[in-house]
Amino acid sequence: MPLHDAEMICSIQAEDGVWAYIVDHPQSFIWSDDEEPTRTWNRLFGEHFGTVRDELEADGAGCQQLSFRDRSTTVQSKCDRDDRFRLLHAFASITRPESDFRLCRDSTHSSDVAFLALSSEDWDKLESQFGTKEVAARFHSMESSFEEFMESGFAESEAPKGTLSPELTNWEGGSTYQPSKLDYKIVSDGPGQPRLQPLRLLVHQYLEPGVVVVSFGQSQSTLNVDQKDVVHAVTGHLCRNTIRVSNATRTGFLIIEQNGVAAGWRTDGWRPTGAPPTSWPAK
């Protein structure tokens, strides 16, 4: 049930835990990369709120008409990446006030973003249970104009890109970790969508052959693996947890952020020799 999912999200304290919950329950949400959002809306919410109908207008201008109950609206395609958000913003507009369709803030780091619809009464219950501020921190309203929604819903953090939360800086590389000075690379486009070659290059560039130490999220436990097995060890955790890797002498470090970007650094001036690998043997 959507209300149960919203309650679970608000009850989870760690951001990586919220994203893990969303990824583990994808059927509860409408996703920005959904090629048939109308069908998904009708499957998830149609019985409770009412069904949405859509059709392309015959003028060939790329306009899509949405109809809900006795209302209709036209969505103009601009043939850019924001078209998917224009359509979902229109869903929120046309189905209001019967439903209140909101953006899941903890998914905005991903290339595929999650949205959830509840009734106004259910949102009020959620705010009574967890507080208005906590609910707003997890779910972003789409009552504003599209431009205002995009600016506020996907606002850049004032913190340097890739900054770890305070409780995660006390690790082997914590004292030398300076995110504003690092050169981040995209190593994943979302859960299950790794960019393996950029990740291999970073491992080659900052971690010499031998045993390295890997930790995930807020876990205090670590995993010791061979340098050539790092890519295999972390791939399933990309965009689910923050991943920290260091060499045995604590002079080479790799940080893989939950939003799919990664960077490395050395404190001893070491540089790799030989050409970077295009692959490592599969385990």
* Per-residue model confidence (pLDDT) at position 117: 95
The residue type at 255: I
Same domain for 38 and 119, yes or no, is yes
Same domain for 257 and 140, yes or no, is no
Distance CA 35, CA 27 (A): 14
The residue type at 102: R
Domain count, the chain: 2
pLDDT tens-digit series, residues 45-89: 999 999 999 988 766 566 889 999 999 999 988 877 788 999 999
Same domain for 33 and 112, yes or no, is yes
* Per-residue model confidence (pLDDT) at position 71: 93
Assess if residue 203 is contained within a domain: yes
Assess if residue 148 is contained within a domain: yes
Same domain for 140 and 98, yes or no, is yes
Same domain for 148 and 173, yes or no, is no
- Quote the domain boundaries for residue 245: 166-266
* Per-residue model confidence (pLDDT) at position 63: 86
- How many other C-beta atoms can be found within 10 angstroms of the C-beta atom of residue 131? 12
**Residue 56 neighbours by CB under 8 Å, 6+ apart:** 62, 63, 64, 65
Chain-centroid distance, C-alpha 246:
25
Helices (H) and strands (E) in the chain, counts: 10, 13
pLDDT tens-digit series, residues 93-110: 999 999 999 999 988 877
pLDDT tens-digit series, residues 184-231: 888 988 888 899 999 999 999 999 999 999 988 766 678 899 999 999
Of 118, 113, 105, nearest to 4 by C-alpha is 118
Same domain for 9 and 124, yes or no, is yes
pLDDT higher at 126 or 239 = 126
Same domain for 134 and 32, yes or no, is yes
Q: Judging by beta carbons within 10 Å of its beta carbon (0-12, 13-18, 19+), is residue 68 exposed, middle or buried?
A: buried
In this predicted structure, the answer to whether residue 151 has a pLDDT above a threshold of 80 is: yes
Same domain for 69 and 209, yes or no, is no
Angle at 43 between CA 37 and CA 44, to 5 degrees: 90
pLDDT tens-digit series, residues 79-93: 777 889 999 999 999
Of 132, 153, 174, the residue that ends a domain is 153
Assess if residue 201 is contained within a domain: yes
Distance CA 244, CA 70 (A): 53
Q: Judging by beta carbons within 10 Å of its beta carbon (0-12, 13-18, 19+), is residue 111 exposed, middle or buried?
A: middle
Most confident of 152-156, 208-212, 237-241: 208-212
Assess if residue 146 is contained within a domain: yes
Same domain for 109 and 219, yes or no, is no
Same domain for 102 and 181, yes or no, is no
In this predicted structure, the answer to whether residue 12 has a pLDDT above a threshold of 50 is: yes
